[in-house]
Amino acid sequence: MDITQAQYTNVLGTDVKASVKATIDGQVMYVPLDLFNRHYAEILRQVEAGELTIEEAD
């Protein structure tokens, strides 16, 4: 899974993290923070391996 960009999004009007907006295999995706979601699991794996950084929300 090729992930080239990742940034948190927040619940509207709050600082609560809601999802990760990521470019995965060339496709922009909004990935829920759910360990059973395969995209989120891969994002966490790449972060743990030092291969990816998740930017804070705008």
Please give the structure tokens belonging to residue 38.
Answer: 């395969």
Counting contacts by CB under 8 A, is residue 34 touching another protein? yes
Residue 32 interacts with another protein (CB under 8 A): yes or no: yes
Q: How far is the CB of 38 from another protein (least distance, A)?
A: 6
* Smallest separation (angstroms) from another protein to the CB of 19: 4
Query: How far from the centroid of its chain's Cα atoms is residue 43's Cα?
Result: 6
Characterise 13 by phi-psi region: left (phi > 0), alpha (psi -120 to 50), beta (else): left
Binding-site ranges for another protein (CB under 8 A):
1, 9-12, 16-19, 21, 24-25, 27-34, 36-40
